[in-house]
Structure 1
Amino acid sequence: MPAPTSAPPAPSAPPAAANAGAYATTALTAATLLAACGGASPGAPDSPSPRPSVLGTVIRADAISDADAARFLAQAAMGSERAQIAAVQQLGYEGWLEAQFALPASGTRWDWLVAKGYNASTYKNSEAGFDAAAWRKLISSPDTLRQRVTLALSEIIVVAIDGLVGLGWRAFSAAAWLDLLEAHAFGNYRALLGAVSTSVAMGQFLTFRGNSKANPATGSHPDENYARELMQLFTIGLVQLNGDGTPRLAGGAPIYTYGPDDVSGLARIFTGWDVDLAGTTTASPDFIRRPMRQYPARHETGAATFLGHTVPSGLGGADALQAALDIIYAHPNVAPFIGRQLIQRLVTSNPSRAYVARVAAAFNDDGQHVRGNLRAVLKAVLLDPEARASGSGATAGEGKLREPIVRFTGWARAGKASSATDSWGIGNTSNPATRLGQSPLRSPTVFNFFRPGYVPPNSGIAAAGLVAPEFQIANESSVVGYLNFMQRVVAVGVGDVLPDYSAWLPLADDAPALLAELNTVLAAGQIGSATQTLMLGALNAMPSGSDARRLNRVRTAMLLVLAAPEFLVLK
């Protein structure tokens, strides 16, 4: 991936206890973050070098190197660790996926909130508990693939906790939303759309909860927010696509998928939906966990026409919803539009046309004539030749900037971070100047933290005709904030969440061995010799020979790896 042309300043001065030589090296590597995609010549993303076949080919477990297994986990999991590397090597890529598919869900965020007493009335107008519930699952749940896919889905079908207004119990509404995505992460995309369209959280966020049919006397019309975003962001996108994700053209111009009349027609479907309070009240959050119900008096029973199809008049609200979702789901854009975004969230920002086409084909038919089987889609994404080819052979346009949440969980999983009190006091990490600049379910808009088509302006990425979504939240403030935050986290943890570096202490007196291990586990062996030379200079300048000194060496080596351009950009 070609590099942007500017680099941010070094982080602010570290605490006095930090090693000055090591910190200087950290600042040097941090300053290259916005140029972190460098090292390859500009080129078209659709002309990758020849790749060995992976799909349909059995890869022997003993052919998977440590680095290859760690790279796979960087795409498929919330982080890499030695036990998971060994599991990938034992089971093979597909076997590891099947084992993850078979793992039972590891409890719900909702139940954790209840167990911690956050359903007490004093918390009704509070977000307390949500951040802890979200981070707990991302960091500690054994079903790490399910957590990674849940995160990806939350960035495609977006709900944000700060937009959940009007009912109270925002922590529970946000937790229920993530639990819903997790429950459907390995299911069928059409079933997911049905659940999303009756979710209280989505009804709150995109404001169709309580939506009523048009009233000619007052001139009111149904709220159109959800109808618009359901098409634009969650299913078909703005322009018609070929099966490989490229725009269909007419006279050299893209063809739009829908217009204002389609939005107005579809909005009629989303009338009459509101919370189900049967047998309960808003004094308890329980109603938020239920799907919304239909209130027939508010529902528009007339015909609804959109996308060239009509939902006939006279249908009840629930039947009309199913008919409308079937129309949208049948659109040929759904497979390439959603498939490409899953590739971007998990593997690479600029997948080739052929890669998108293969994933879209798996979406359209899982081999058993089932459409939308997310297990089949995830296999297609993660086992594709372009995903599994060695990172050392990456061509221009391949790879992606790791988003801050994934960098943080990479540290937490590798460092065996845990919360002894089970309170997971990490908090909201959205502040770009002092924390990560990103936090689960805290996107500023329905368009996610970053757009799938974002291009950093005045950059090598732009000059090469590439996109780099995560760079939308990478700037001078967030780069420095990330490094300063992670310096503290690596050294002393965050809240009650503490790492366990004991496995690495025996390597600490041998700087090359320590760095090699962290390079493998955290960076999939992708840190190059020039960067390693800088790191080793800093580590070798540090005293050794005692447990305290060894621990300082481990912390410094960890921070250096987390700051390295080759860690930040996964090839």
Structure 2
Amino acid sequence: GEDVTLNAAMGYWLNTKGNQKENTATGRQPDENYSREVMQLMTIGLVELNPDGTEKLDGAGAKVDSYTQSDVSNLARVFTGYDFNQSQNQPTVVDGRTIPSTTFARLPMALTESRHSTLAATFLGTTIPANTPGPTALRIALDTLFNHPNVGPFFGKQMIQRLVTSNPSPAYVARVSAAFNNNGSGVRGDLGAVFAAILLDDEARGPQGLTQPAWGKLREPMVRFAQWARTFGLVSLADTWKIGDLSNPATQLGQSPLRSASVFNFFRPGYVPPSTALAASKSVAPEFQIVTESSVGGYLNYMQNAIRNGLGSDLQPAYTAELALVADAAALVARLNLLLCANQLSAATVAAIVAALNATPITAASNDSARRNRVAAAVLMVMASAEYLVQK
């Protein structure tokens, strides 16, 4: 938590950088951006949760807020006084030009105590006394958030959504939440135990989800791209890895690392596609928030070129094992089914892809371009199939 809070990029993005204590003469108050988002997005969420991730309700059946505006304002005092650490900057001279140092971007932000609020901070049932030193106040604040009962179900459910299924059962969430609360040895927040609980749970590994339409998750475009690159040995011939911004949904992936449009990420964990069967069943499908008619075509067109030609002249896939199977369409598709889909392609989809490949036979006389074309076509058809796009 402290590493994230004091990260220079986080400070820039959520206004902790340069955040100053209150000034009664001018009316200035600490910026509340990070204090709000560290609760809303990163730790406890907007409403109180049961251990199974369901929302707590009060006596009138209404949701219970997990924090108040007073909590936000008080917590904001803790995050004052921090700014970029410029102490190790060493500008570089290249061809007579002075290049500013970027060392500060790799260092935790530094505290200037004179800019840090000395007022008491009361939030979430905890009070940090007045005149508490900045580093101590920060540790108390982050420990308070870390030990909040919402963290296990809030974090656990979203990790299940990212890794396994958009709609986990409350029992599944409860098991993951329990692993967060106690790894079996009395340790809270052991992420190894949390991810083991997510990935090894019966609900994640059992066959029952394979036949349930609402089970699983849509693969994010950049996750598909990364899987393709890792699976087929993408290399940067110049060792520069200049992939660039892939955010354009009409011509690229509609998603690019570290380039979400807001602090709320690319999509909301509770997004429901309107006027769909998912909406009728009150199911969520977060990744569908970035799916449009344009993005569907953009993904296919971009990947068609990337799969066949790589990215420019530098980034090239190997396809070594696939080219060795290129003359046997069935064997080639079987390999792709295993590597990309964990053998989840239906027999009908496999047959359709094999038939399409066999329409252009590969023989001993086929040149390297024709062989690579067949591999690229097979990869594209698999990565365009619904059974690939929805991970189960």
Counterpart of 1:502 in structure 2 is 320
Q: Does 1:524 align with 2:309?
A: no
Could you tell me whether the CA contact under 8 Å between 1:301 and 1:313 is conserved in 2? yes
The 2-side partners of 1:225 and 1:242 are apart by 27
Could you tell me whether the CA contact under 8 Å between 1:281 and 1:287 is conserved in 2? no
Q: Does 1:268 align with 2:77?
A: yes
The 2-side partners of 1:281 and 1:489 are apart by 39
Amino acid at match of 2:328: D
Counterpart of 2:361 in structure 1 is 543
Counterpart of 1:253 in structure 2 is 62
Distance 1:316 1:456, change over 3 A: same
TM-score normalised by length of structure 2: 0.94
Could you tell me whether the CA contact under 8 Å between 2:300 and 2:384 is conserved in 1? yes
Counterpart of 2:387 in structure 1 is 566
Cα distance, 1:266 vs. partner?
A: 0.6
The 1-side partners of 2:85 and 2:298 are apart by 43
Counterpart of 2:52 in structure 1 is 244
Structure 2's unaligned 5+ residue stretches are: 92-99
**1:480-528 C-alpha deviation (Å, 9 max, x unpaired):** 0000000001110013111112312232222222111111111111111
3-state SS, counterpart of residue 152 of structure 2: helix
Amino acid at match of 1:542: T
The 2-side partners of 1:267 and 1:299 are apart by 10
**1:364-383 C-alpha deviation (Å, 9 max, x unpaired):** 11111110011111111111
3-state SS, counterpart of residue 228 of structure 2: helix
Counterpart of 2:94 in structure 1 is none
| Aligned ranges 1:115-194 → 2 under 5 Å | 193-194=1-2
Amino acid at match of 1:387: A
Amino acid at match of 2:145: I
The 2-side partners of 1:293 and 1:502 are apart by 49
Counterpart of 1:533 in structure 2 is 351
Cα distance, 1:550 vs. partner?
A: 2.6
**1:62-100 C-alpha deviation (Å, 9 max, x unpaired):** xxxxxxxxxxxxxxxxxxxxxxxxxxxxxxxxxxxxxxx
* Identity score, percent: 55
| Aligned ranges 1:352-431 → 2 under 5 Å | 352-390=169-207, 393-431=210-248
TM-score normalised by length of structure 1: 0.65
Could you tell me whether the CA contact under 8 Å between 2:17 and 2:82 is conserved in 1? yes
Counterpart of 1:492 in structure 2 is 309
Counterpart of 1:335 in structure 2 is 152
Cα distance, 1:314 vs. partner?
A: 1.4
Counterpart of 1:48 in structure 2 is none
Counterpart of 2:298 in structure 1 is 481
The 2-side partners of 1:392 and 1:513 are apart by 27
The 2-side partners of 1:407 and 1:334 are apart by 29
Cα distance, 1:323 vs. partner?
A: 0.9
Could you tell me whether the CA contact under 8 Å between 2:89 and 2:102 is conserved in 1? no
Counterpart of 1:208 in structure 2 is 16
Cα distance, 1:437 vs. partner?
A: 0.8
Where relative contact order (Cα < 8 A, 6+ residues apart) is larger, the structure is: 1
Could you tell me whether the CA contact under 8 Å between 1:391 and 1:526 is conserved in 2? no
The 1-side partners of 2:190 and 2:76 are apart by 27
The 2-side partners of 1:499 and 1:307 are apart by 51
Distance 1:392 1:512, change over 3 A: farther
Which of 260, 278, 290 does residue 443 from structure 1 map onto?
Answer: 260
- Paired residue total: 379
**1:521-569 C-alpha deviation (Å, 9 max, x unpaired):** 1111111123223222311111310243332211111110010000000
3-state SS, counterpart of residue 122 of structure 2: strand
Structure 1's unaligned 5+ residue stretches are: 1-192
RMSD of aligned residue pairs (Cα, Å): 1.4
The 1-side partners of 2:129 and 2:229 are apart by 53
Q: Does 1:512 align with 2:335?
A: no
The 2-side partners of 1:472 and 1:453 are apart by 10
Bigger-Rg structure (1/2): 2
3-state SS, counterpart of residue 305 of structure 1: strand
Could you tell me whether the CA contact under 8 Å between 1:505 and 1:547 is conserved in 2? no
Distance 1:498 1:391, change over 3 A: farther
Could you tell me whether the CA contact under 8 Å between 1:507 and 1:513 is conserved in 2? yes
Which of 274, 281, 286 does residue 464 from structure 1 map onto?
Answer: 281
